[in-house]
Structure 1
């Protein structure tokens, strides 16, 4: 009798444990279907949890790099727009210098040309001190202050740093956020340091009576304006190249983001069709186990011996 009783007890315990496991599996599958995730806690599947943490770290880094690339693209685009405006401005200044050099002008005519050149010089100063959408100077390098300053005599001086600093936008890839104003608006003219501001300011002064030969001053200014245009065109090319590089990296970032999202989904998201099939199988197995347990537990020892 003792062996029979022990066997019956073991059977009941095994049956109850089996049904409990089935119920736990059913609840887990239902949770997976409801949440769309394969695990709720790392302890449920440490290997999957480790993979998901790895993907999450890479996604977080990708978001930072993506934000950096977006801001860098905006800054480079703003710098490119300013350089285009500066090019147009310098081209107009060159037209005025040619006019002053080749067209007989009286004092009033020279004053009129000087007035327009003075306005162009003020706009040039404003463009050189342009800021990004976030208020950071575009041509001051790594300085947070104005790129150029003007003293009481009207002399313009570069106040930024000689380097712009690089922004990391991808693993192993960092691109400079712009160009220092010293590389955009300053240049050597016949071996002598000069700038677009100095050239325009000098021509204005000459046309206002500050030079004995305004025509010669205008001719000399043309060479300076050409040098300023060369510097601006070179800067525009550099900025454009960096913008194209940023766009290429952003496309690669988008591709990586898609790949990471697909991996995260593959590892951590619930396959609904598979989960529903497993749920149905588990429900069927639980129903069969409950029915079998009920029939066996209803039997008495006398019935089993008979």
Structure 2
């Protein structure tokens, strides 16, 4: 009769320990969920929810890459716009000087002084068109590394970049060009003749130094070309402004998508704190009662009933 009693007692202890261990495990999981804010510890807890969370995490990683590209494009477009603005300012000054050079009252030395300033403005335009981004990329060289324009021994400028500017993806299915090329900014139509700003200014400077029979007439004839060059820079600034506006629109949309993903992530994998705290209190109450009952029952003997 002693062996069955012993087996029954052992079974009682095992059952009690299993129940209390299970309650202790539930309490620890709930405490972890409350501390971390995450409902799932492993995929097996809820395979469907875990799969959705993985998909949301993948979307978030892709969105981070797109956001980085968007910031890069924005910075490069702003830098390009600033440099085109400087080129436009230089050309406006060239227009003022050309107007002065075209008057009949100005003397030869005055035109030479104007030519000197035009040369300085040409150098500044050359520097602006060869500007680089903060990352060291040529702003107006397209996809080619290095400066957009080079000078030969005679001072003639030539484009050394690629025909097109590269693009970056800033959202799913949305790409945008990172800038404009040097020819987009400097090439213009001079009364039916294609030319570029650097060659045009070099020619104007040479004429004002006496390279033509009538420098004043040459200057007057050059004014429409200067106006055309200024208009070209304005169009390019408008293009860049439109791209910046588009990037801003896409960024706003991406931000809204990110907020939606965050809400869904919290709903799918997050912990409902109020519910979790309530369940934890219930589990701790049951655990405390179980421990008290076990202690009470395990201390009883037959002599207590005699």
Question: What TM-score do you get using the length of structure 1 for normalisation?
Answer: 0.90
Distance 1:178 1:256 in 2: 27
Written as runs of structure 1 = structure 2, the 5 A alignment for 1:1-306 is 13-297=14-298
Do the aligned partners of residues 7 and 103 (structure 1) sit closer, same or farther apart at CA in structure 2, a change above 3 Å counting?
A: farther
Deviates more, 1:11-20 or 1:146-155: 11-20
| Alpha-carbon shift at residue 45 of structure 1 (Å) | 3.6
Deviation string 1:70-118 (CA, Å, 9 cap, x unpaired) is 1100000011111111111111101111111124221111111111111
| Alpha-carbon shift at residue 296 of structure 1 (Å) | 4.6
| Alpha-carbon shift at residue 254 of structure 1 (Å) | 2.0
| Alpha-carbon shift at residue 187 of structure 1 (Å) | 2.3
Distance 2:17 2:266 in 1: 36
Provide the secondary structure at the position in 1 that maps to 2:41. Answer: coil
Distance 1:63 1:148 in 2: 35
Q: What 5-or-longer segments of structure 1 have no aligned partner?
A: none
Distance 1:281 1:241 in 2: 60
Deviation string 1:273-302 (CA, Å, 9 cap, x unpaired) is 322211110011112223334445555679
Do the aligned partners of residues 103 and 92 (structure 1) sit closer, same or farther apart at CA in structure 2, a change above 3 Å counting?
A: farther
Deviation string 1:27-77 (CA, Å, 9 cap, x unpaired) is 111222233332333344433332322222111111111011011000000
| Alpha-carbon shift at residue 125 of structure 1 (Å) | 0.7
Distance 1:48 1:21 in 2: 24
Question: What TM-score do you get using the length of structure 2 for normalisation?
Answer: 0.90
Do the aligned partners of residues 106 and 299 (structure 1) sit closer, same or farther apart at CA in structure 2, a change above 3 Å counting?
A: same
Distance 1:63 1:10 in 2: 57
Distance 2:12 2:49 in 1: 35
Deviation string 1:251-289 (CA, Å, 9 cap, x unpaired) is 222222222223323333333332221111001111222
Q: What 5-or-longer segments of structure 2 have no aligned partner?
A: none
RMSD: 2.4
Distance 1:4 1:179 in 2: 92
Provide the secondary structure at the position in 2 that maps to 1:131. Answer: coil
